[in-house]
Chain A
Amino acid sequence: MSRHVVALVEEIAPGTCKVVTIKGREIGVFNVNNEFFALINRCPHQGAPLCRGAIVSRLVAPSPGDYRLERQGEMLRCPWHCWEFDIRTGQSWCDPDSVHARTYACDVEPGEALAKGPFAAETVPVEVEQKYVVVTM
């Protein structure tokens, strides 16, 4: 396991995603209401680039005709077959017990702490006064 600085916090606005490559794997880093989550950029169904999909809410209906919008901006809809995944957990909406998108730990760290290491900053230069998104994998 190693930690990877992938972006400045300001770089990924709420409701958006940045796709980065870590150890040869494409990872989508999402800002959901200023919380950060990391998902693999590969749909477990047919291999689509999952993180290119739409960020949506969860629409539920306790009974036909009774629609409720929940979890605003917390679901990711695959760009191919529209399977939806919980950005927080990677769980699929269609089959949450057995179909998951892989997730990775994702934290916000001050540059001050990162300057002490160890971490892989790669192309994101770290300055002590900034905050950064860090993915562990």
Chain B
Amino acid sequence: MNVTLLTPQIDASQQSHLGFIDCDVHPYFKSPAEFDEFLPQKWREHRASIGGRTRQGLAKASNYPRMSPGNGQRMDAWPPDGSHPGSDLSFMQMQLLDKFNVAYGLLAPLVGGSGAERNIDFGAAMATAVNDWQLARFCDADPRLKGAVQINIEHEKAAIAEIEARAGDRRFAQVNIPPRSIEPLGRRRYWPILEACAANGFPVSLHLGGTAGHASTGGGWPSFYHDEHPSYVQSMAALVTSLVCEGVFEHLPNLKVVLVEGGFAWLPALCWRLDNTWKALKTEVPFLRRKPSEYVRQNIWVTTQPIEEPERPADMLSTLEWIGIDRVMFSTDYPHWDQDDPRFAFKVPLPEDWKRKIYHDNAMAVYGFE
């Protein structure tokens, strides 16, 4: 038979990770006007007449456009009606949630621009709108999808109010904080927001994607997307260093931080370096009573995508052990171009008990799913 339709064919019996928890799923809108019903009239008019003012240089385009259409979407993720990848729940169910029998999908909405908005009152209003939008369009329609509370981190009062308003609503699993903030995230000015997350039982997810006000590398603005994409690793390393060295985890020992879209193989080397530096310079940070790596192992989790593919595939096993098998959680990043397929992302067979933890148990514990 000659057909042009692609039918996913998966042998369920061979897929021990079916039923996994996906720690990075991107919902999208069919039209930005979808947010209007969740915005007060004042901000609806503001959105229409003035629009967003983000901290990155360009208002309506990415600083580093991706090669794939839609600014970096998986090319086969466009729904049949031509709407944006991630905007059609039934198509997302077909390609991801039902296909792999995903137990939970953690939403990371990169829409609405609330996190990087320079007009912080508008940013706060958009955060609330995107939170309501996630519930209405995705979480209520498919309870496997868990929302992420959006906030504008520069509007402390509104951010804390939003976190408190969503506390106890199990449709939300965590708080998204845009990781390329104006100052390093561990600075004390951000502590009240981090305190609110910890007090209300929300893990904080730090999801990288796109640029913010600062150059994305320590050496300035890259020339190519090829330079920019690996800069996520630098940003993640800077976040971990700031959170640890400022004493956030000494202050908030129960704060959970989940790093999303930064890979993970860089983390052991960073911990080795931080531990060495701490031995020499601890009088500068006397409030750090333990080695930096101990805070990392207590408070920080990593997600896998974009996964590293070591030259010798078995080196992945050592890398995972160095981080700790309990700290790693699988993520696809659906429907983006650089997403990982749960069947083929690891290029080396993992022991069964590692798989169970990475694909399922670790996220169940971090997010308190039952």
Chain A: residues with CB nearer than 8 A to chain B?
6-7, 18-21, 26, 41, 45-49, 52-54, 77, 79-82, 122-124
Contact = CB atoms under 8 A, between A and B. Distances in A.
Nearest to A44: B344
**Band of interface residues on B:** 10 to 19
Interface in B119-135: none
Looking at A6, A21, A123, which has the most chain B CB atoms within 10 Å of its CB? A21
14 contacts: A7-B2, A19-B6, A20-B3, A47-B344, A48-B76, A49-B6, A49-B76, A52-B75, A52-B76, A53-B75, A79-B74, A79-B75, A79-B337, A81-B337
B4 A79 contact: no
Contacts of B76: 48-49, 52, 79-80
Contacts of A77: 67
B339 A80 contact: yes
Given A19-B4, A49-B76, A123-B1, A79 B341 contact: no
Given A53-B75, A79-B74, A46 B345 contact: yes
The main secondary structure of chain A at its interface with chain B is loop
Nearest to B338: A81
B343 A82 contact: no
Contacts of A6: 2
Looking at B2, B67, B74, which has the most chain A CB atoms within 10 Å of its CB? B2
A77 B68 CA distance: 10
B340 interface: yes
B46 to A, nearest CB: 38
B79 to A, nearest CB: 14
Contacts of A26: 6
Given A47-B341, A47-B344, A81-B338, A123 B75 contact: no
Contact of A21 (B3, B67, B68, B345): B3
Contacts of B345: 46
A123 B2 contact: yes
A54 B75 contact: yes
Contact of A20 (B2, B74, B340): B2
Interface in B323-355: 337-341, 343-345
Counting from the closest, the 5 A-B pairs by CB-CB distance are A79-B75, A46-B344, A20-B2, A46-B341, A52-B76
B164 to A, nearest CB: 40
A47 B340 CA distance: 10
Nearest to A51: B6
Contacts of B338: 80-81
Contact of B1 (A7, A18, A21, A53): A21
A95 to B, nearest CB: 11
Contacts of A21: 1-3
Interface string B42-81: 0000000000000000000000000110000011100000
A107 B72 CA distance: 36
Contacts of B6: 19, 26, 41, 49, 52
B273 to A, nearest CB: 30
Looking at B6, B340, B345, which has the most chain A CB atoms within 10 Å of its CB? B6
Contacts of A7: 2
B67 A82 contact: yes
B343 A20 contact: no
